[in-house]
Chains A and B, each alone.
Chain A
């Protein structure tokens, strides 16, 4: 058994003139929780679709458990589950009927079903709702049902495209508990997200930008890239502090993070006390300031998406 779950090599997909994904290569190990982040239009969904064998690459290839998704996607598909942003649930079928539909589709043996269903109900909390129509579920519960339907054939690889899109914070936590449980059970999970706190939970992350891979590393290693250049300021008026910092020499970026401002300074860094003096000279009263750990969002901005926040 190979230790590699996914091996993408120069994976490329063009739509007319545009290369949505352009020569992307990476490996995902078995059992990894692997995240894909990047600005809108960076190629995340296209990458996921190619890995799931539902879209053919223009060139390059990806192997999933040693099988090429180009040569024979049908050999790969039974071993993976792909949950698209608009997953195909049937609104006029009940929770149980939806899961049964996917069990039939993937040929799950009748003998395996009782235990499989019980386990899916247990971790999703959908048991009490098994006879409710899918259309009558809340957004968070629909996402859980989509996940259950995708997991019914016990895939070895789970591919999730922004699973928490439009989901409230509590349902988001529940979904992530399920994801962590799958990983703890040995499943490989490949997930795209627009939430940086979700990205931070991954074992490794790939950052896509305009179809190309701009970084691939553990979250901690990515965050270390801004070591010594990131500071945090709390002020009585955080917006005024941010605006003043944006005009301060030596400051590359200043953005609100909660009620604090994260400040990225140039490389080599200017003297920090001079930055603070410029701030207080501008009439901002500073409550707290000092070096801080970069968040993944700071890194994301530093890797240069198309639209610098102003």
Chain B
């Protein structure tokens, strides 16, 4: 079976600025494929090219078997697209927005009735169907936007930071819907800054300065970080960060909630060195425990490893 998305050496330049630089990857059907990367890394540009919204400067990409550089008309019937600035009309009701998108995608008659009811049920918006969209909380608008993006039952769905600024509970609910779509066979490409969402993806592509710097499962990415990582608690974590960063053995120290995550170059005497450094800085050190890296640890580690010194 052909992959859902097949990308080879895809590039896009804006004048002299290369936004996406020779990116190559494949996405299998039914996969939830995540895009991670710092702001400006090229995630949005990549997604726009794959959705047929922006022409590549060079390289090849096929999506659902269609060449994105060719006639993208038939492609657009096979894909759905939702961005962080989703295009709902605030002064239309929920049902009117669904009708509008159905018209654009040629979903009519009995199929429209069935799809509208499906979207209302999926998004949990049945009781809100006649409310003005502009009055809905952000999390509800976002589920409606998702519903509108999949009205025409696309094979492949592109989501560009769909959950930015949404509260944790609404984010979870949104991801439950994504799960449902993937189980039903939809391929999903999604970009996010929320590392807990990245965990829900089957595979992750990490972009940095226009290039793909890592591509693996969440577990594979975690396993790739071989530097020992410790969780450290102290009474004043913000002040402990500089005290630890000056130690030669410390590769990085950062706050995680109220605790610190400390990455070391060398594991020998780790606990003693950390305790001594904090003691010298006048801090009461609590626990020092070796932990498995979170995806945020991995993300920062990989980006720093690819950045010129001091740039990240």
Residues of A within 8 A of B (CB): 38-42, 85, 138-140, 162, 165-173, 176-177, 180-181, 183-184, 194, 196-197, 200-201, 219-220, 239, 255-259, 296-297, 300-301, 305-310
Contact = CB atoms under 8 A, between A and B. Distances in A.
Contacts of A176: 255
Nearest to B195: A169
Contacts of A177: 238, 241
B18 to A, nearest CB: 15
Interface stretch (B2-10, B22-30, B73-81, B160-168): B160-168
A40 B303 CA distance: 31
Contact of B254 (A173, A239, A296, A297): A173
Nearest to B40: A138
Given A40-B137, A200-B257, A259-B218, A170 B303 contact: yes
Contacts of B170: 39-40, 307
Nearest to B136: A41
Contacts of A166: 39, 84, 161, 164-165, 193
Q: In the complex, which range does the number of interface residues on chain B fall in?
A: 35 or more
Interface string B37-53: 11111000000000000
B280 to A, nearest CB: 19
A123 B47 CA distance: 34
Given A40-B138, A309-B173, A171 B196 contact: no
Query: In this complex, which of A181, A219, A296, A306 has the most chain B Cβ atoms within 10 angstroms of its Cβ?
Result: A306
Interface in B175-226: 176, 179, 193, 195-196, 199-200, 218-219
B312 A170 contact: yes
Contacts of A296: 257
B169 A300 contact: yes
Interface of B: 37-41, 84, 124, 137-139, 161, 164-170, 172-173, 176, 179, 193, 195-196, 199-200, 218-219, 237-239, 241, 254-258, 294-296, 299-300, 303-304, 312
Given A184-B238, A201-B257, A259-B219, A301 B195 contact: no
Nearest to B194: A195
A168 B170 CA distance: 20
A168 B38 contact: yes
A194 B167 contact: yes
Nearest to A125: B310
Contact of B193 (A167, A180, A300, A309): A167
Nearest to A180: B238
A304 B169 CA distance: 10
Contacts of B300: 169-170, 173
A259 B196 CA distance: 9
Given A40-B165, A171-B39, 5 more contacts: A39-B170, A139-B39, A167-B39, A168-B39, A194-B165
8 contacts: A40-B137, A40-B165, A140-B38, A183-B238, A197-B256, A219-B258, A306-B137, A307-B139
A180 B176 CA distance: 35
A200 B258 contact: yes
Contacts of B161: 166
Contacts of B295: 258
B38 A41 contact: no
B137 A165 contact: no
A309 B164 contact: no
A201 B199 contact: no
B239 A41 contact: no
A297 B168 contact: yes
Contacts of A308: 169
Contacts of A256: 199-200
Given A255-B172, A307-B170, A197 B257 contact: yes
A238 to B, nearest CB: 9
A171 to B, nearest CB: 6
Nearest to B295: A258
Contacts of A169: 193, 195, 296, 299-300
B39 A258 contact: no
A201 B37 contact: no
B238 A38 contact: no
A41 B169 CA distance: 13
Contacts of A184: 238-239
